[in-house]
Amino acid sequence: MEDQTLTANLTSLQKIIKVTFTDTAFLRSAITHRSYLNEHKEATWDHNERLEFLGDAVLELVVTDFLFAKYPEKPEGELTAIRAALVNTVSLADASTRLGINDYLLMSKGEAKDVGRARQYILANAFEACIGAIYMDQGYDAAKDFIAERLFPRTEEIVKKRLWQDAKSRFQELSQEHASVTPTYETVGQSGPDHDRIFTVGVFLRKEKIAEGTGRSKQEAEQQAALKAIETKGWGVE
């Protein structure tokens, strides 16, 4: 019964990603997390880490080629930052979620319960593994088409809203533009044991606290605070 379900799932997933595989073993491996094989010793196929490795390289080449042609006036540093924003974990996990890959992942029961940041990594890795699977089965052009449909539409938003900048840099630029002031950051709280500390940081414009952010380091908390401050102010979303 499990084999029949898996076969049906692979058929459905091919329709979703709009690729008909010659060898569905590639796609099966692409959706298989390492933890699944630990619980299912009867499984005879590989997990998705090798395909993820391959897909990551294909993804970088496809996106680099696209950005190089689309923005002939932009310098290398800015192109690198735009590419990073387009293919980071959050972006790939979002693309994976919108595709519905989450419903087809093969994971251990423990991993399946995790819906936080760990799931984001799993989803992003599965997206790259799917790229690797398409490349292996259908070739470069098919992989390029898959990437183009799922990621390229985000590019103009990233460039227009300068999402390629980190949140602190964006908020500083927007603060100077809209309020003629440079934001400051202050740690307003700490919690947890020394080995698992959580920091809370406030971001201020002059003496007004605009937002707070939390993280496992002050730098992470500052980035979260800046991101929330941009949302609070509604800057950069025109």
Extended beta strands in the chain, E state = 184-191, 198-205, 208-215
Q: Can you give the pLDDT at residue 237?
A: 55
Give this prediction's pTM: 0.73
Annotated catalytic residue within 94, 111, 128, 137: 128
Instruction: List pLDDT tens digits, range 21-49.
Output: 999 999 999 999 999 888 888 888 999 99
Using alpha carbons, select from 160, 136, 134, 128 the residue that is nearest to residue 63.
Answer: 128
Q: Mark the ranges of the chain whose per-residue pLDDT is less than 50.
A: 1, 238
CATH code of the domain occupying 2-160: 1.10.1520.10
Marked catalytic residue, from 56, 94, 111, 137: 56
pLDDT at 194: 83
Domain-by-domain residue ranges, the chain? 2-160, 167-233
- Look at residues 147, 115, 151, 110 and name the one whose alpha carbon lies nearest to residue 130: 147
pLDDT at 117: 64
Q: What pLDDT does residue 1 have?
A: 38
76 is catalytic: no
- pLDDT for the residue numbered 116: 65
pLDDT at 50 (0 to 100): 97
At 233, list the tokens: 């102010």
Question: For 183-224, how does the pLDDT look when each residue is reduced to its tens digit (9 = 90+)?
Answer: 999 999 998 888 778 899 999 999 999 999 888 889 888 988
128 is catalytic: yes
Q: Into which CATH architecture does domain 167-233 fall?
A: 2-Layer Sandwich (3.30)
One-letter identity of residue 10: L
DSSP per residue over 157-206, as a string? HHHHTTTTS-HHHHHHHHHHHHHS---EEEEEEEES-GGG-EEEEEEEET
